[in-house]
Structure 1
């Protein structure tokens, strides 16, 4: 808060008429109260005005907090006809202090102030009331208080404005910003990257009217050699580096590199180690490979066969190749063999450790040298005669390693007859249809028990995945090491014992499968003592009872605002179980876009479900209340949050069944969270992944056609519902399919009708809606795909500039100049009510626009001039007039 001036007790005020100033002493300090009490006299008009209040230039909206006392009129004998229990607050703007000059005509009424608590003869009750003064534009203003016959005492006045405090978000620094007013609900603020951070686009954020930062756009990243530490960019510590600007942390210098001082962007190679030209500068450095070993020359069928072993030390590289150098010697003279001799398969670039040499001349001495190459260097090894080979070594105590390769065309294999007391390694690699290798899995090690014939050592299973469109061949490398020194049975044995145990556990558990539903509640929800819950205000009504806003204060935890669902009196045991089953479902979820369960009350008479409190309530109502106030980028950001929550649910094999904007809640940072799990059910383990129900209400306008027809629900049917939610959000809470009946909706969908693009909806967003509404559910995108696409749109705001085609005749459902029954609109107010713009009826009347013929003559500038300022409202009225001018009725549009 930014304070404009201190309480009224320290102000000099102009006292007019019957107001009295009374000086009092409290705790050693003097303060003043202003009072008036002429309840027995008629036509009272007593004014009290403040001194000049200077306004901070950017503070166009201020709050006036009053503390006052009002005497009960019934406590005065014979004054009931003239006594009042309210007074009025006025304001007047000025560019300079006018001193004691006072003209009532210069003041504009702000509000009538009525007390919540009235003071009787025996009990003093102090009221506190806060009012908003909007659209201030001059250098300062005055406040005035008018009494019209009440007995009141004004104790204090505090005037303040709200600010979004200076902050650092995503390494961008944003200055303290005065919150906007009614005409600027979100004030855009540009930020500056903190020291040693950079950004490709200017970071921005929005300041709400309540002084909260929301919807950050763009981010800064630490420069090379720096990493983010508590909203700062600090140098990489000695021994670590970061090569480019990113949100990543500094990483330790890789192997065989020098550890430089702080702030390194790369770690150079140590002496004797190198990077190849194609190696990344951030990768490890390689040493020199040693010489090939055990080079042997043998003859066969007139050819010389050279074989050797790989270098003992490859220098840490895998790109080892070999080349052959040949010299022929006559007497004491040696020269290169040249191109006369032939190598098979080649003389250079060999990856195998053998080569065949032919076309050799008789009676000449040949010397062959095998060179080992890597990306960084070359070493050589001279050939040695076979007689010089060292004898081979055999030791039964050494581990014996055997490789077995199984070629598979399925995604599992059972391997039997395993050796007891043996460790096995498995690796799966995919092969394409032409046999070329693909990616492989990590090696997994298992060990059989030491008991001969034990079933734990007799079978195991190796897996790999199938391609979405065609079967990928694969092989399983099956390696075992026999260990004679000892045997053991590890945790893998239990895992290996049954193919059933290899299946992943179901993440979500349906509470309806519990014989005793109370068991499910105790398993998944935290029990809260009622004494820790304070109800404050009724904010709604659910299927089972009232919903309250309240406070949860658990000992040892911070006090938090919560929503409290209650169970109405006279409930049956089944209603109680159904009520608490929602908590059993919610308690299994933990995601920032799923409403969070705080706990339940089950062990006392009045059952309650306690969840986090979402300040802005249901998404559909919130969007209707803020029609036209958000840009497409912000709406897409909301949709991204909803999609992320639904991806989380779908990954848990969970179907919501009632996804709609009314079941999405919004907090004070515009973060959207999925709620209301009353209709939700888990996916069964059948191949279709469907849930079938024989009863229950289905929300027709949000439900996929296959779910309506066959009551089969899948994540794909949730995707259809998400498409409807997208339409609701982009249409600012418009009702899907308008005033069509459920029967008309089902008929239209089956005839391939789809909702048209909302006004100003980006084309890319509308195309995604249409993908969600594909008749074939297998072709609809998955929630993971939807999240990825929305992320892509948010990273490229320009992609939202192309607007989808908009037809006002369909989107606003206005049949030319007729009402819903086909008859002409009888008045301007009736027309405005039909497009939910009835708040502007007085504006039209004051401007003299009182007939529909006059409405049809209006242009955009005329609409602005009568006081329609919000862009969304302006467009809705303008497009409605456009639809009114078209004599084609909505019904015939649908018929076409």
Structure 2
């Protein structure tokens, strides 16, 4: 467009709207062939004309187009020509070779943007720049000369309004032609870089701006470093990459911008740039994009194996297992398995079971006290030494071969087994000695029995010597676990050792311990104090006895003629928490590991577990728990048992390890007794122990009860079910839920219960049943019932009689008869414990002394004749005590009367089909039939002997061919 004259005019681009689209060029008039329709003012100012570009192509001189992206900075490329002012002499003073570029942002749409000329003349346009021509021309020559076209690019921004903007060109008095206008913005194109996709990103408001573009991982890729971003500079170029992605497991990179799935038969286990690999040996993948090849049947990977490792199998069983038995120790050796499973982490486990018979079903796991060197699990060598076994006991040892995948196999580990029987062995060492008393010429000592007696202890040998004269030692024997050493020097230290002896010989001496006699002056001083104390006690005792006698006479002469009034006694504490804090150790629950349920109690479950105190060796324990939803009273009763147990320290009283009260569940933790309750243990081992062994067990129970009596406690629930047995057959009194403290400031310490509740009638003394009066004497009655339970191998006291029948029978002076093969002296002890007059019953110290005499004189334990005293002890209920053989007519009836129907098929199958034939049976016959328990053999032979007199006339000879 050529302009003449000094006029100033505008040509106005109607409206350029901004929105988001993919078009980059906003306007280009070079290709237009029709009218563009710009608004120009004044009317004689700008006008739209056709022209030519520098290549003589027809173009329109102005144009407009829509912008669809919200750019922050807009660029305008203007192509124009300018007439050289020097070539127009007549207007030289007012001629210009420049023009101005303006823009105006708007919020209005295109249709709203049409205004009058006045508005556009006064609109608040912002100036972009004054544009000057680099080259001008003198005249238009279409005969071959080209126009001198100028191209200038200007930018403006940032834009802030959403609808668009107007461009305006102001003529300052130039003779010029506006050939083309291109409006555009710059952006960085979408790109995939480092396996991340970055979208198209507009440049910033300034040419120096850097715009951050956040990237996202392409499909099947995962982030490696975050954040993932690129910077878009003002020229629309990407720069400064940060972070990256990589193909995830199961996919491999392809051409740098694609993650391709691994085909079947291959896998890729980790994220990264690695490629898919073929499946290792003995494995396969049946899907695409596999991250792991599954092992084929019978093959596995270990916990520490990587997906790239070959699948392996479990080893075969060890070979050539042999044993060397030496008393109570055994050495096992074996050869490695033929097939190790293609692994180099082969190891061995040794499993020990103690058996009551050659049949494996009668075996149980060995005690924790059994020692394995170098260990029993994870052995690398093919040899192990096992010690601390029981003497004369059958064991089964299984040697397993395992490797890193044995725990993956659904089948048990391959193993080789061997059966051995230990020999007689000397007892283990006595753990410690205690000084009971001392004078200037003697001192008395006591000690607990060895943890592993390995038989009946015959006696103890005590060696002692003056510490200043080691070579002159003296010896002394004791049949009990105590001794008094006399003839010593005053004020002298003596080194003492003790060892136990069985039929296998002496054990090892205990460690040396030093004990001191008193000097003569010390002894005289102590003796004087004792005499003064005895004298004072006698005087006080006379006064107390007098006062008690007066009180009894004033109340009523017969204390058993009616109910006894309630008597209150001092308790440990009104608050069980305080008592527990005083007498029981609080254990952190993190030190306790619960393993398995072994029973249930009044308050909740009983578990076997492990206790690992800080800095100490882990030990097995029994754990009593308080059930969920307990009442406050139940919690008090539960904790009161722990506060009672915490006061006791005696080898035949169950040991309290501690309590857990600061977390849930609340627990009472005691030592673990491997053989469980005495009644169950005896029933499981019917007839297996010699009488002297049973007496030894009774002696331990009596010793524990003697201790309780000395501590002024009454147990109130003494029964075989509340006696626990450890692996060494040591019996310990337990279950102190009903125990109570007795007053010691009266001549007759009793505990009178005024509360209701169940009473174990079969074990309870008559005065306790009638008047709820519990004393140490009522515990003695219960001890007599326990003795009967032991000698009858866990038989139920009074059999199937009801509780009321038991009460009535006792009131009529009925007493339980002697169990089968029970020595007379033991049954007499029971009858003494069951004296109606509680004052006539023996005390627990007397019972211990009596049992010690029996043990020292085994001849007194011969069975003899069990005579039931005449008179009141005869009772019609005796018919229930022994099998009634008068009515039996067949072998089946006879065995049912003996409660041995399990042997029916054995008897009939061996030819003993009638009672006359049964009367001819011998011990050898029973052994061949399969009656292996000694107690069952005795019971059958005793019954057979009692039947023989009634069948002498009809006894045929033994059947020919039987048991050959």
TM-score w.r.t. structure 1 length? 0.49
TM-score w.r.t. structure 2 length? 0.45
